[in-house]
């Protein structure tokens, strides 16, 4: 009985045993594991990994201490990575963020992000410990005004499901502030729950029937982009992707269908059992400005044919101290036929191994 219970909760890969906390028996089960497995170290009681659609609640390392964040090393790495891809960089801005979120990066996953666009920004994304109000931290640091409408929206989303949600944040390597706040809903949730929350404008709620007609019925993450004054919904779209489905989804952003090369790449790399799909919606008007299709685990040494030199350079130079590097590519389609790709790569926190545990469950 004990072994069957453990098998329900543990996935072991490359020496890392991962405990998913699926019920309220978290601490009890952790104690059982620590007794049952020799030399087990519980290195995060309740940590969340944020790279879209990756979430894990608690991890157990059976071999060694997980990769951890070092501020001195990070400052050097973010500068070198920005220089390598010609992205804007300000050490002062990064230090201001680290000061405002002091201690938040120590035990969490950190992930790099950029795009295929020349000279575009370098982002770093962090997960946040349970119970920490990142909006309050940002307000205290002067990054966000207390009456910001997107901050109110984040608080509304965070209060869903009796407040059983978690935050993540994106930062820009050249900007002292928060670029985006994520809310992890910790399970696939009905999109209607998200749309009917306080502070969601009626013009955004009006998309509900369209989402349902396209099979976009459940979301895992939501987010607010303070710089773009937009909100993001991250769906699990039904797979495998088809040409007709791809054309209808990009049409949400009034964009022509993917090219044959783009479609073949997406069909090759998107999860055939269902894949992450995101919408970027203007808060004030409800206009869907962009949509994006996410491929979550690009194998090392292999990249989609649509990845350009800048993205390849990013994958080559962005440092990672994880035992397994997690790489993500997404295809973004926007108003007026604008297109680009987004790239993400793990830095610390072992998000690559955890990716095997949760793919938009």
DSSP string, 289-305: EEEEEEE--PPTT---T
pLDDT confidence of residue 312 = 97
pLDDT confidence of residue 206 = 98
Q: Give the pairing of strands 110-115 and 123-127.
A: antiparallel
Mean pLDDT by 10 residues, the chain (361 residues): 35 35 36 34 36 36 56 96 98 96 79 97 83 89 96 97 92 97 94 98 98 98 97 98 98 98 98 97 98 93 94 96 91 97 91 50 47
Q: How far is CA 227 from CA 183, 283, 297, in A?
A: 17, 12, 28
First to last CA, the chain: 25
Q: How far is CA 123 from CA 26, 88, 145, 284, in A?
A: 33, 10, 22, 25
DSSP string, 129-156: -TT--HHHHHHHTTSS-TT-HHHHHHHH
Which of these, 76, 61, 67, lies nearest to 108 by C-alpha position?
67
Residues 6+ apart with CB under 8 A from 188: 218, 219, 220, 236, 360, 361
> Cα(319)–Cα(338) distance, rounded to whole angstroms?
30
> Cα(314)–Cα(158) distance, rounded to whole angstroms?
33
Q: What is the dihedral of CA 41, 44, 50, 55, to 10 degrees?
A: 70
pLDDT confidence of residue 262 = 98
> Cα(190)–Cα(245) distance, rounded to whole angstroms?
20
Q: The whole model's pTM is what?
A: 0.82
Q: Which helix (H) or strand (E) holds 6?
A: helix 2-9
Phi, psi of 189 (to 5 degrees): -120, 150
pLDDT confidence of residue 14 = 33
pLDDT confidence of residue 130 = 59
Record the tokens describing residue 267, joined without a space.
């069909």
> Cα(22)–Cα(10) distance, rounded to whole angstroms?
11
DSSP string, 175-199: -SS-SEEEEEEEEEEEHHHHHTSTT
Contact 322, 351 (CB under 8 A): yes
């Amino acid at each position: 009985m004990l072994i069957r219970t453990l098998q329900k909760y543990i996935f072991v890969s490359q020496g890392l045993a991962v405990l998913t906390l699926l019920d309220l028996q978290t601490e009890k089960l952790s104690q059982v594991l620590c007794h049952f497995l020799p030399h087990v170290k519980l290195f995060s009681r309740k940590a969340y990994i944020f790279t879209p659609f990756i979430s894990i609640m608690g991890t157990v390392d059976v071999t060694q201490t997980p990769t951890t964040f070092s501020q001195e090393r990070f400052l050097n790495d973010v500068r070198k990575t920005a220089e390598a891809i010609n992205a804007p960089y300000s050490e002062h801005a990064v230090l201001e963020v680290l000061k405002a979120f002091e201690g938040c990066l120590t035990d969490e996953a950190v992930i790099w992000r950029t795009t295929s666009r020349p000279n575009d920004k370098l982002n770093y994304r962090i997960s946040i410990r349970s119970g920490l109000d990142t909006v309050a931290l940002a307000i205290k640091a002067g990054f966000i005004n207390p009456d910001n409408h997107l901050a109110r929206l984040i608080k509304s989303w965070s209060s869903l499901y009796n407040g059983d949600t978690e935050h993540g944040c994106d930062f820009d390597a050249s900007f002292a502030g928060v670029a985006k706040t994520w809310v992890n809903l910790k399970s696939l949730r009905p999109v209607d729950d998200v749309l009917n929350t306080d502070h969601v404008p009626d013009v955004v709620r009006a998309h509900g029937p369209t989402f349902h007609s396209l099979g976009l019925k459940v979301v895992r993450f939501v987010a607010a982009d303070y710089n773009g004054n937009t909100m993001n919904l991250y769906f699990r779209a039904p797979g495998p992707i088809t040409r007709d489905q791809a054309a209808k989804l990009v049409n949400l952003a009034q964009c022509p269908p993917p090219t044959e090369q783009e479609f073949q790449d997406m069909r090759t790399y998107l999860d055939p059992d269902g894949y992450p799909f995101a919408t970027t919606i203007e808060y004030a008007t409800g206009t869907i400005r962009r949509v994006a299709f996410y491929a979550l685990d690009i194998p090392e040494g292999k990249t989609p044919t649509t990845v350009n030199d800048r993205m390849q350079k990013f994958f080559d130079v962005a440092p990672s101290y994880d035992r397994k590097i997690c790489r993500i590519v997404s295809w973004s389609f926007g108003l007026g036929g604008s297109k680009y790709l987004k790239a993400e790569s793990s830095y610390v926190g072992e998000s690559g191994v955890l990716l095997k545990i949760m793919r938009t469950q």
